[in-house]
Copies of this chain bind each other. A is one copy, B any other.
Amino acid sequence: MPDRASTRAATIVDVARAAGVSRTTASDALRGHGRVSQETRTAVEAAASTLGYRPNSAARSLRAATTGTLGIHLPEAMTRIEYYLQTVYGALEQAAADEIDVTLITSRRLAGGQAPPAVDGVILLDPLADDPVAERLLALEQPLVTLEGAPASRSVGVVSADHEAAVRELLDHLADRGAVAPALLASPAVTDWGGRVQAAYRAWCAERGIEPAMVERPFGSESGAYAAAARELLVARPEVDAFLCGPDGSAIVVVDVLQDLGREVGDDVLVAALVDNPAYVYTDPPVTAIDLTPRAAGAACIRLLLDIVRGDAAADAEVPLPIAVRYRASTLGAAG
């Protein structure tokens, strides 16, 4: 009784029967494997289409020992940060293009000794130095890719940009525009990126014999905290004539603070951000920033991880990520 044919999803056997061929031939026809005549192939495809056949991914996974899913983890403290959202979306888009699914891995999911999700590989976005979830994921024997990862206990793929060069380019630019005492509102060195930015800033200052003017705030701080940090720095170091803003979005409040104090941003004082943000185009003045190309970064992570999973890349392959400074009025003056 094929009564419930409409109820149960069609299988490859249903397709084969409808096309008058065997399982194997139907499968071969649809996958383009084996030797199948053009005629048969067309018939099978027609049958599959009319039956609305959709291969059962569990069965396929079982046979292929593969899930068709990648996991992506970002520390929960980061979830409010625009940059990571963009990164996750870039990853999702690339994954969609490659017809694979993406599962988000929260801290909770791994915290309680629970089973890790069924994935072929994992992406860690800017793993915190001491993140327990990241450690557990590292301990898993799975292909793994980090975006700006710190050195790991085992071989992992890495997508990484030349932040040192970008920070230097920005600092050189500020100097060109007349700044002699650029300050840094920094993110903490708990991530690889945070550490490298601080180091690049210190190195640049050392080369020029400039005393670093740096203040630090944790990731995910409220914007009020950044405003307070900027004020604090300005009181302690009145000579500061340029601001490098590390935390995503912090340049907005820094500009506010400076304008409150009667400084002319882009002229009297320069402001630049280390993490570009859509809002920086609309601020007054628009803010010069390093475009970290988060969408491209997310996509690159997916591609690298897929290559590693498929054996097309070494488990410890590194992929460079191009980034670029976007020059805007906040460092170019009113005439922009």
Contacts and interface: CB of A to CB of B under 8 A. Distances in A.
Contacts of A56: 62
A118 B117 CA distance: 14
Given A67-B57, A93-B108, A282-B224, A101 B85 contact: no
A109 B96 contact: yes
A222 to B, nearest CB: 5
Interface in A54-112: 54, 56-59, 61-62, 65, 67-69, 76, 79-80, 82, 85, 88-89, 92-93, 95-97, 99, 101-104, 106, 108-109
Contacts of A69: 101, 103
Among A61, A62, A95, A96, residue most surrounded by chain B Cβ atoms (within 10 Å):
A96
Given A61-B61, A67-B57, A282-B222, A101 B103 contact: yes
Contact of A118 (B89, B101, B104): B101
A102 B104 contact: yes
Contacts of A67: 57-58
B108 A96 contact: yes
**Top 8 A-B pairs ranked by shortest CB distance?**
A58-B61, A57-B118, A96-B109, A96-B108, A58-B62, A101-B117, A224-B282, A101-B103
27 contacts: A58-B118, A59-B62, A61-B61, A76-B89, A79-B85, A79-B89, A80-B82, A80-B85, A85-B85, A88-B104, A89-B106, A92-B104, A92-B106, A92-B108, A92-B109, A93-B106, A93-B108, A96-B108, A96-B109, A97-B108, A99-B114, A99-B115, A101-B117, A102-B103, A103-B103, A222-B279, A223-B282
A93 B62 CA distance: 28
Nearest to A81: B85
Contacts of A223: 279, 282
A54 B54 CA distance: 28
Contacts of A102: 103-104
Interface of A: 54, 56-59, 61-62, 65, 67-69, 76, 79-80, 82, 85, 88-89, 92-93, 95-97, 99, 101-104, 106, 108-109, 114-115, 117-118, 222-224, 278-279, 282
A57 B67 CA distance: 9
A6 to B, nearest CB: 10
A104 B104 contact: yes
Contact of A114 (B65, B80, B96): B96
Contacts of A54: 115
A118 B119 CA distance: 13
Nearest to A54: B115
Nearest to A116: B54
A172 to B, nearest CB: 31
Contacts of A282: 222-224
